[in-house]
Chain A
Amino acid sequence: MQEVLVRTGGKTRLWPATLYGTLRRLIEEGLIEEADTLRDVNAADVRRRYYRLSRRGRRALTEEIARLEDLVRAARVKGRALKLGESS
């Protein structure tokens, strides 16, 4: 939760119940899976459970990034066109 807050520059706060609700849905949709082994042994906490992206989740993420980039690109082009339109 802390990490989300930091990563989004304090804009998005992930509340605990929402977090677990989201985790459940992601698992149900097969986008993430519970990790058996820990990548970062130092951060390991016996109480904690770790999740990682599944293969399907990784593919979905890649596609989503591509989609959002396309969207941003399209918006920028449009924005430039608008600006040009205003100046002329």
Chain B
Amino acid sequence: VTVEDAALRLYRALARAFPQEFRVAYGADLADATEDAMRDAMLRGGRLRLVWLVPRLFLDLAVRVAVEQVRDSARDARYAVRLLTRAPGFTLAAVSCLAIGIGLTAAMFGQVQSTVLAPVPGVRDPHSLVRLQAPVPFDTYERMKADTTAFAAQAAFLGPVPLALSFDGGEARRHWGQLATPEYFDVLGVQAIVGQLFGSGKPTADASPVVVLGHRLWQTRFGADRSVVGRVVQINGQAVTVIGVAPAGFVGASPMTAAADLWIPTSTAIHIAPELRQLRDPRVTTVVVLGRLMPGVSEEQAELALDAVVRRQERLMGDPGRQSDEPRVRVLPGGRMFPIRTEDLPRAIGFPLVLVSLVLLMACGNVANLVLARNAARRREMALRLSLGASPGRILRQLLTESLLLAGVGAAAGALVALWLLSVFESARPFVPGYVQYDVPFDWAALAYSALLAAASTVLFGVVPGLRAGRGNIQGGLKPAPPSGLGARHGLGLRNVLIFQQVTVSVVLVLLTGFVVVGWNRAASVDVGFDPVNLYFMSVDPVRDGADPDRARDLVQRLRQRLVETPGVVAASVAQSVPLAMSGTEMVMSVRADLAAGSTALSATRVDRVGAGFFETIRTPVLSGRAFTREDERDDARVLVVNETMARRTWPGADPLGQTVSLGDQAWQIVGVVGDIRSAFPLTPTLPAIYQPVTPAAFALPTRDGVTLTVRTLPGFDVPTVLTREARTLDPNLSVSVRPLSEEVEQALFLARTATVLYGGMGVLGLILASVGLAGVTAYAVTRRTREIGIRMALGARRADVLWLVLREGAAIAAAGTVVGVAGALGLTYALSSVVEALAETTRTSMADPILLIGGPALLMLFALLACYLPARRSTRIDPKTALRAE
């Protein structure tokens, strides 16, 4: 074998890459011409000349192959566009299915990516940052810092706390801030853009309190003035020096709770930040601990180390719960916007992702079905083209081009749907408490992923059957379709499977979303234990407004009296922490109940302080004993009211009245039992609760720890204005905020409502997709059987008979799919409930709801039958003469 031969052989092999038509027409000539050229070159200049010629021949070949291929593809694409525009119904249905599936998936993934998985903005190396799930006493934090080696550095913070900022005699405005230990910024890896942050090594003297400003605050209130460093401003009425500004984007270590705009060291004096009052109390959990893990240390190792510290503390303190084996601390990724452990992610995002996957699955199934129906209807066209000399490869290529074009348009439409959905999510955000502004990046990866999946299903179902048609005998395809009903089942198996899958998945989707929506609505409508209608919270903050403690105490007392006497006010009372508010203080403490038989430790008990007349005002029934009176509002009062849950759990079958409970080192006596008040998120179970009477000292504390007045009014007048006016008559400088309780309840239910809309929407989408699929299959059946129907009608079949004939197939599949779907939905809900706790809680009752279990599938069947009926109606309009002439 000579070199020339080898080159020529290679050339011929490569020339196969030309499109088939070109190869057939010119392949042989091309090879000959090349051989001639090579021989000619050999004759003229021998091998040397060949060395010059051969590379150029190959280059020429490569360029031409590319050009011819592109030309062919362009032609295919033009043809495909023409075909798709000629079948607008099919194109619209397929593209909208793809768009819904792709768009929803991309939007959901984008949302998850930007909320749950996003890093906390502005921090360095978020992966090695951890935090403790629950706050710990400051004392414990200091022990953790001293006794563990798992961390390169640790810090703690307290917050969000409201801080009133004023300067140059201007108006005081409140901002959310955090009280942080000096290591805070170092641990987070945040550098000052102006001045310095208080962790920068230099210990700050207690004599001159300092503050670090957030970038947003620096821009909005100080006009981004760099000379702000060293300036003295007023915080909560006290002089504080600005030492630096944090970089743009950084809003604290827990942006989902509240974006912080100010940072003050925990070493600051208490009168600037009254929240620090309980910092040194070893029994009160105050600070959130942050840590930067040492390289090579895992979260689990850190958790064990911290757990040991807490247990040691408990032993030292003689904590009643010290014998318990339960883990004391939980380390969470501190660098994530939603501090969720990786292994817990399925709990947080599993359910919505399963729903989205179902929608995507339906969309893919739908498109597959549509494409199959269309290609089946084109069997004759394919056969004709094959018989006219088109190669199977050529037809395959054409089908591939069509499928890809469809998928491409679908993906583009899907991107638009995703962008629209994201903007909807974005606009819904401000209602979420603790909202932080951050960008939702468009998730290209998710878009690409879902588009790829959709394209794969389009291509798979668009091309594979075409391939079969290509291999099948031409004669069979060219012949008119056999009179069906006799042997025309052929080729429909796959389609029936698809439509069955469609109905099943949509039943699952509708039921699953139905369970959640109904469950949530039910949870939201449970008796909250109080009457929020015409109930208002009024918060005043005389200390922050500059009053001294004595005056503040007096002011609150007089205000309460004045409100009670105001016309239109039914009742008014004070509470130090409000058990109704979702955003209220929730203190979970360990307390000990002293029983006749000994003592028992209680944990996870909510402790609130409320004033005289509180339960009457909010209309929570006193079940036994009494509620608080004015006489109980003393510093040395040792009386308690407990809720029903507490009474039932701690003293089952016994009378709780007169029992004692140890709080800290003092014994308190129970004087009353009140009904349960459901607070926070409607799904969380009611905790045992203890109510202590407020003390006059609390009246002088600022809002977060101070008092809120609870006012019940008559309906029909502008309550906020009247109440504010009354307060201002006592002190014209008092800042007052009045908000209706119904608003709080709304806010607490916001998540449930959002979920209702979101999941309900998905269910509806699924229904639409399923209907489109069923309509498609019936329409196809009608087309396929036109001739048969014509014969039947010519022979005297009635319209109803014909209608049933056509409907039968769709109805049977729909019925089978519904049965399997109901089973699947129940199974999937059980399976998911074991992973997602909230889901189990939500669907506990709704899963057995007969209206849902029967009504849901029935509705779907109705839709399915309608979807079958509409195209089937066409069959009854078939003119026997035309039908028989067809084909």
* Contacts A17-B65, A24-B22 given; does A1 touch B60 at CB 8 Å: no
* Contacts A1-B33, A16-B37, A49-B29 given; does A21 touch B67 at CB 8 Å: yes
Q: Would you mind naming 24 contact pairs between A and B with Cβ atoms under 8 Å apart?
A: A1-B36, A2-B40, A15-B60, A16-B30, A16-B33, A16-B37, A16-B60, A16-B61, A17-B30, A17-B57, A17-B60, A17-B63, A17-B64, A18-B64, A19-B33, A20-B26, A20-B30, A21-B22, A21-B64, A21-B67, A21-B68, A24-B26, A47-B32, A49-B29
User: Does chain B have a CB within 8 A of A31?
Assistant: no
Q: Which residues of B contact A17 (CB under 8 A)?
A: 15, 30, 57, 60-61, 63-65
A1 and B37 within 8 A (CB): yes
Q: Tell me the count of chain A residues lying within 8 A, CB to CB, of chain B.
A: 14
B37 and A18 within 8 A (CB): no
- Within the complex, the shortest CB–CB distance from B91 to chain A, in Å, comes to 29
Q: Which residues of B contact A20 (CB under 8 A)?
A: 22, 26, 29-30, 33, 64
CA separation between A16 and B68, bound complex, in Å?
14
User: Which of A15, A18, A19, A48 neighbours the largest number of chain B CB atoms within 10 Å of its CB?
Assistant: A15
* Contacts A2-B40, A21-B67 given; does A16 touch B25 at CB 8 Å: no
Binding site for A on B (CB under 8 A): 15, 22, 25-26, 29-30, 32-34, 36-37, 40, 56-57, 60-61, 63-65, 67-68
User: Which of B25, B60, B61 neighbours the largest number of chain A CB atoms within 10 Å of its CB?
Assistant: B60
- Within the complex, the shortest CB–CB distance from B403 to chain A, in Å, comes to 27
User: Does chain B have a CB within 8 A of A23?
Assistant: yes
Which residues in window 20-53 of A have CB below 8 A to B? 20-21, 23-24, 47-49
CA separation between A19 and B32, bound complex, in Å?
12
Instruction: Name the residue of chain A whose CB is nearest to the CB of B40.
Output: A2
* Contacts A20-B30, A21-B67, A49-B29 given; does A15 touch B57 at CB 8 Å: yes
B40 and A15 within 8 A (CB): no
Of B25, B61, B65, the residue contacting A24 (CB under 8 A) is B25
A-B contact count (CB 8 A): 44
CA separation between A15 and B36, bound complex, in Å?
12
Q: Which residues of A contact B25 (CB under 8 A)?
A: 24
Complex A-B, nearest 6 residue pairs according to Cβ-Cβ distance, in ascending order: A15-B60, A17-B64, A20-B26, A16-B33, A17-B61, A16-B34
Instruction: Name the residue of chain B whose CB is nearest to the CB of A21.
Output: B64
Q: Which residues of B contact A18 (CB under 8 A)?
A: 60, 63-64
Q: Which residues of B contact A23 (CB under 8 A)?
A: 26
Q: Which residues of A contact B15 (CB under 8 A)?
A: 17
Q: Which residues of A contact B60 (CB under 8 A)?
A: 15-18
CA separation between A17 and B14, bound complex, in Å?
12
- Within the complex, the shortest CB–CB distance from A28 to chain B, in Å, comes to 9
Binding site for B on A (CB under 8 A): 1-2, 15-21, 23-24, 47-49
Q: Which residues of A contact B32 (CB under 8 A)?
A: 47
What 20 additional pairs, Cβ within 8 angstroms, besides A17-B30, A17-B60, A47-B32? A1-B33, A1-B36, A1-B37, A2-B40, A15-B56, A16-B30, A16-B33, A16-B34, A16-B61, A17-B57, A17-B63, A17-B65, A18-B63, A19-B33, A20-B26, A20-B30, A20-B64, A24-B22, A24-B26, A49-B29
- Within the complex, the shortest CB–CB distance from B53 to chain A, in Å, comes to 10
Instruction: Name the residue of chain A whose CB is nearest to the CB of B58.
Output: A17
CA separation between A48 and B755, bound complex, in Å?
75
CA separation between A87 and B823, bound complex, in Å?
99
Instruction: Name the residue of chain A whose CB is nearest to the CB of B31.
Output: A16
Q: Which residues of B contact A49 (CB under 8 A)?
A: 29
- Within the complex, the shortest CB–CB distance from B78 to chain A, in Å, comes to 14
Instruction: Name the residue of chain A whose CB is nearest to the CB of B14.
Output: A17
CA separation between A17 and B34, bound complex, in Å?
8
Q: Which residues of B contact A47 (CB under 8 A)?
A: 32
CA separation between A21 and B69, bound complex, in Å?
11
- Within the complex, the shortest CB–CB distance from A4 to chain B, in Å, comes to 12
CA separation between A54 and B61, bound complex, in Å?
27
- Within the complex, the shortest CB–CB distance from A47 to chain B, in Å, comes to 6
CA separation between A19 and B68, bound complex, in Å?
13
User: Which of A1, A18, A20, A23 neighbours the largest number of chain B CB atoms within 10 Å of its CB?
Assistant: A20
CA separation between A25 and B496, bound complex, in Å?
46
CA separation between A16 and B56, bound complex, in Å?
10
Q: Which residues of A contact B67 (CB under 8 A)?
A: 21
Q: Which residues of A contact B56 (CB under 8 A)?
A: 15
CA separation between A22 and B61, bound complex, in Å?
13
CA separation between A59 and B599, bound complex, in Å?
113
CA separation between A48 and B32, bound complex, in Å?
9
CA separation between A2 and B40, bound complex, in Å?
9
- Within the complex, the shortest CB–CB distance from B553 to chain A, in Å, comes to 97
CA separation between A18 and B36, bound complex, in Å?
15
Instruction: Name the residue of chain A whose CB is nearest to the CB of B27.
Output: A20
- Within the complex, the shortest CB–CB distance from A34 to chain B, in Å, comes to 10
CA separation between A19 and B67, bound complex, in Å?
13
- Within the complex, the shortest CB–CB distance from B746 to chain A, in Å, comes to 70
CA separation between A4 and B375, bound complex, in Å?
49
CA separation between A49 and B26, bound complex, in Å?
10
User: Which of B15, B22, B32, B33 neighbours the largest number of chain A CB atoms within 10 Å of its CB?
Assistant: B33
CA separation between A23 and B27, bound complex, in Å?
13
User: Which of A16, A17, A24 neighbours the largest number of chain B CB atoms within 10 Å of its CB?
Assistant: A17
Of A2, A16, A24, the residue contacting B57 (CB under 8 A) is A16
CA separation between A55 and B447, bound complex, in Å?
54
Instruction: Name the residue of chain B whose CB is nearest to the CB of A47.
Output: B32
Instruction: Name the residue of chain A whose CB is nearest to the CB of B65.
Output: A17
CA separation between A80 and B549, bound complex, in Å?
105
- Within the complex, the shortest CB–CB distance from A46 to chain B, in Å, comes to 12
- Within the complex, the shortest CB–CB distance from B29 to chain A, in Å, comes to 6
CA separation between A1 and B53, bound complex, in Å?
13
Instruction: Name the residue of chain A whose CB is nearest to the CB of B26.
Output: A20
CA separation between A31 and B26, bound complex, in Å?
18
CA separation between A17 and B60, bound complex, in Å?
6
CA separation between A21 and B25, bound complex, in Å?
11
CA separation between A59 and B619, bound complex, in Å?
101
- Within the complex, the shortest CB–CB distance from A25 to chain B, in Å, comes to 9
Q: Which residues of A contact B64 (CB under 8 A)?
A: 17-18, 20-21
- Within the complex, the shortest CB–CB distance from A48 to chain B, in Å, comes to 8
CA separation between A20 and B25, bound complex, in Å?
9
CA separation between A31 and B701, bound complex, in Å?
97
Q: Which residues of B contact A48 (CB under 8 A)?
A: 29
Instruction: Name the residue of chain B whose CB is nearest to the CB of A23.
Output: B26
Instruction: Name the residue of chain B whose CB is nearest to the CB of A49.
Output: B29
CA separation between A16 and B32, bound complex, in Å?
9
CA separation between A20 and B27, bound complex, in Å?
9
Instruction: Name the residue of chain A whose CB is nearest to the CB of B36.
Output: A1
Q: Which residues of A contact B37 (CB under 8 A)?
A: 1, 16
CA separation between A24 and B24, bound complex, in Å?
12
- Within the complex, the shortest CB–CB distance from B164 to chain A, in Å, comes to 80
CA separation between A17 and B26, bound complex, in Å?
9
Q: Which residues of B contact A1 (CB under 8 A)?
A: 33, 36-37
- Within the complex, the shortest CB–CB distance from A24 to chain B, in Å, comes to 6
Q: Which residues of B contact A15 (CB under 8 A)?
A: 56-57, 60
